[in-house]
Each structure stands twice: as structure tokens, then as C-alpha cells.
Structure 1
């Protein structure tokens, strides 16, 4: 697709936080926005039009594709199997290969394994006999998950011994069994690919989790160069071998024995990468749109070290108390209309900047909430 300048119209499939932030960035860059969703917090804003409908309805999809110059998705739970029936379907230049890959845990793991990237031992299981045999091969501890990621099976089922396996009855469906890692550190790295196949890899984000939802996302101005290089090469390999245009995120981890594993791939933006705006002057949404609209992509490097501390409903009051003690800390809350249910309790972030990583670590770790 040729260069799309301001005043072009971008269609976005879906709703929620990522759509809201993506649409806001598109407006800043001068685009008009059409959103296909059942509702949208941006619907009343100038230059934003809402098509009240579903991505599973061909007429609603056709209405979107007919009114815009480019169509974007930023939700990996979308199913766009019948897209070829839509007139103008080529406007979805991201393609659907990436979407198919990230929705299927077995396909994703196989893709990574086939490209010689380090993943945990895994196997597909469809019945109790399969499960018992596969546990013998993979060993303990291990975790069972549905192959399709959009199935409501939140944390998976963990097996630590044979008695737990013997007592478990596999529900109907297809599942994947994986070794359960002893994770020391998790990381996120973003990569974009433009219309010419040019791949840009962006700064490494270090994750520190306190529980399922509470974590910090840190970008260092001077990261570990060896780890950074290895992660960049992994992201390059993944991006080069998927037929897509736009943005992906790759989640990795290291174990206590310092082994690096690739955990999963995300299509489009990811909440943890909101830290980019604060430390690089470029938001992940801008990098996403630039890669899709044939705008030149900048070389993105951290201007300072910085950390986003996740704010949830449970810790909001404590976060406000911490802000009273730290005048340089900044609180950014998403609009109230975007509050989701328990599946995504994020309200926003507290951003902490500093050129000295050790001082950042000291101030954050002395809080009653977050750790780095």
C-alpha cells in the first residue's frame, strides 16, 4: 500500500483499551477513524465514526471496508475466516496469518520450535490417555491449557505429581501440555515490519510480576547488551518468517539457570509497551500506524530509564498514597468507560523516570506495592 497521509480514513475492528489508544494516536496523526464495535468510548469524538456491529457479521464488515482506506485489528481474539468475501479485503494489509498463529497455542509453539527458537517441551492432548502418556514424557511440574487462546480457561491446570494427574478428567476439546518453567525474569520486545519487509526491533522491556495482574514494565537506557542482542535476533527471526505487516510483540523469559525461552507472540500492541511513550518519545501505537501507512520508521532508543507501575482497582488507593510521597511520579488513568471485568482489571499506570537504574529500583522497591 502506498503512503497514507493525514485526512485518510482508518478503520479499526474491535473496542476496548487498545482500540481507544490506537484511535487517539490516529487522530493525532491527522487521520479520520471508523470503528466497528458494539460501542466505543471514542464514538462521540470529532473525526471518529462508530459502526455499531460485529466483526462476525459480513454486512457490518463490508460497511467498514467500504468507508475506509485501511483496516486494522489489534485484538488477537478476532476471527476473520470469511474475509475474502468482503469487497476491498486487501485493505487489511496486516493479513490474517499472524492472527491465525497467535490464536493457536500448538501452532505457535510449533512455529517457534521449527525456527530453532527455544521453547518449553510441549505436546497436544485430546483425552485422558493422551494426558497421562504426555505427562510421563514431559515430567513435572507441567501445565495444561486449551489450544485455542480465546477459550475461558484462565490460568491453566498445573500438575505437580502423579496423583493430581490420576484424579483429573480432561474436558472435551483440544489441549496443549507444557513444562512449567521456574521463571526468573520475563521480557517483552516489539518489532514492526513495513510494506517492503523492513523489520525494526524496539527496546527491550523487563517485566517484574508481583501476582497475576500486578507487574512493572521497565526500559533501561543502557540495557544488558548481550541479552539485548540475543532478544533482537529472536524478534528478527520471528518477524521475518510470518507474512504480516504492522506490529508484533514477543514475550520471553529466563529461568533461574539463565536459560532464555520464547513464551508467546502477540499481534499488535500490548499493555506493557505503553512505557515506550515515556522513555523514547514514540508510542507503540505510532510505531504500529507508521508501519502500516508507509511512513518512515524511526530508530527508537531510550532517552532515559523508566518504569510503568500497573494500577488496578485493588491498588489504586495505595498508588495515590505513594504519589503523595513522590512528586516526580506521574499517574495516567484510562477513561472510566474502558474499565473491563476481572479478565483485565488495569486502570492505568504510574510512570517513574530516572537516568540511574539503581535509584529507580530503590524508590520503587521501597513502595508498598511494586517491585523491580
Structure 2
């Protein structure tokens, strides 16, 4: 039997941060992970450069049935705390856009910092360790006993940092949810989130004809909107705008896209008229939109004939028809690409059953839940990593 003060299941962002924090307090800590190496999602995030936090972090950037739950941790370990940590290691980083911070070199730089912190804290990291069962125990003052593929373990504090269901090829499983249910915690519905949309029928044909085209848009659904870039794919829509709004979209909901978020096509058309523009409207639109998009979009919307008329001949209702097509395209996605490509899992362990200060389960003393396994989902832009750092650190102060 291997015994520790604290055992953390899951060697991802939250688990590593928790281990380093707890170990520095003099606690004996072990991290167990069934994967062959640690920090896989850190390594692949941000196109391999890891969007590790954001200059602007607040509870409004998170989605949860209990919107107040994240406030405590985010205030006790904020983005400046993590920036200070990476600065200690002289990590080279840059702001990409909207406060998003990325490594200049590789995401492995972030992982190496966390591993160095764990090493300082004498945390024991064991990979390829499959957890077969978790039970309560009273042996030698311990609370939990783990039966694993690497033998039996016992601990006073057990932390579940196993993440969600996103990207199963990286080793994601529902283990954390199973443990929550086993010890009487409720779960909120889980869905793939920060994920591309898929379409069928004519909308799919349109997306396929425009695959690879990217342009700035405003995406709206369920009274939430994001002004970001949109990418057409062979399956549907991706890019930051699609991923952001997917956090708030549910099956059957309408998605509205404004392809000219920074201009009014009605006003632009009026200006063209006053200027006496002789060029065809389709050519004039090339000043605002990719020509390939215009060609396919006009055909898709049945506007080919209208686009061949000079602006002077356009009626008011025809201008409105074009404005509606470009500013207010409404479509119901067939679905999303699912957990295979989702960056996070929306939903999870009900936070009403967990302390927002210590992350201890209210019904199971000594059992803690941190990171993505909880019903706290951040927007795209470094927010989910900041939640991992904050929840891991705050939990590490108490285990």
C-alpha cells in the first residue's frame, strides 16, 4: 500500500497546479494518470503554443448553472498570479488578440514550468496508472483507498482533476463523473462545447463550396453574440466565432450570422448611388468581402439576377433583401462535430455540491473536484486554462 496525504487523479493543467501548491505546503502528493504522458491537452492547445490565460478575466467569461461559483477562486488566483509564475521562468509570450496570451515558442514551455513546480514540491507523478476502484477507508487515518493497475494507494485527500469528455483520442473519459455519482454528487447535462458546427442539405453544400474561406462576422444565438472570425469547412462552420457561440447554442437553436458586422449594406448602397458608381454591386462588394464568398453567397441566396442590375435600378425592398441576406443569415445547425474536436465539455459536476473556497464535496469529506470536470466552462481565449490554474491552486491550499 502506497500512502500519501493527497492523491490527485489527472495530470492535466488543474491537477499539476494543485499538486505543486499542495506539495509546497509540505503535503506528500501523488498524481496518477492513465495516459502515457502528462499534460496532453496543454501540449496541443493554441495550435501548439498554448493560450495559457487572458489579460481580462472575470466571472462574466464563464458559463455555469451557478454563475457565482467561480468568483472566489478567480479572485484568489488571478491571471496576474499565473503571469507572475511564468515570468519567474522567463517564459517568452505574446498577446495575440483580445488579451489572449500565447507562448512565443511551444506549449511545452508551460508544461515544463508546471513540472518544475511539481518537482520543487516533491510531487510523485505516475503515468499509465489505471484506477480500478475508489472506496472509503479508515485505515491508518486515511479516508480513501484506490485500487489501481500499479497497486493499492491510500490518502487523506483525494482530488478529481480528470477533465471532461472532450477529445477522447487524448485519453478523455467520464471517470470523474462516475466518481461524483458514486459519492452522491449531482451532475449537470454535459455537451461538447467550443466546437465547430455541422450542417446538412443546401447549407452544407454552401459551406463545402466555401471551405477554407475565413472572414470577420458577428455570430448570435440565445441573446449572446461574438464578433470574431468565421471559417467555412467541409462539414459546416468553425473559427473563433463559431466556437465561442457554441458555448451558448443548444440543438435546435437558431444561429444568426452578420457577414458585415462593421458596416450597413443599406448605407453603403446609398453611398454608391450618390457616388454614381457604375460597377456591378457584386464587384463593389469585393471591397468588403472575399470574392469567392460573394460569388457563392449570391447564388445560394438567389440574388444572381439582382446583382446584375445597376444600383440606380434597385428598389428599396431589393436593397433590404440584400441587407437581410448579409446581415441576418439565420440557420439551424444540424449539430456539432462533438467531443472528437471540442475544446471543452459544457456542464459537469453540479457546483452546488462543492465548496467554492476549498473545492471539497459537501457530501464526501476529503473528496475534491477541480478544473473542467466541474460545471464551469470558460469562453475561448485562455479562460479555461485560467480556471484550471485558479481551481487547482485554491484546492491545493486545503488538501
The TM-score, its normalising length taken from structure 1, stands at 0.31
The structure whose residues are more often helix, as a share, is 2
Larger of the two Rg values belongs to structure: 2
Task: Name which structure has the greater RCO, CA cutoff 8 Å, separation 6+.
Answer: 2
The TM-score, its normalising length taken from structure 2, stands at 0.29
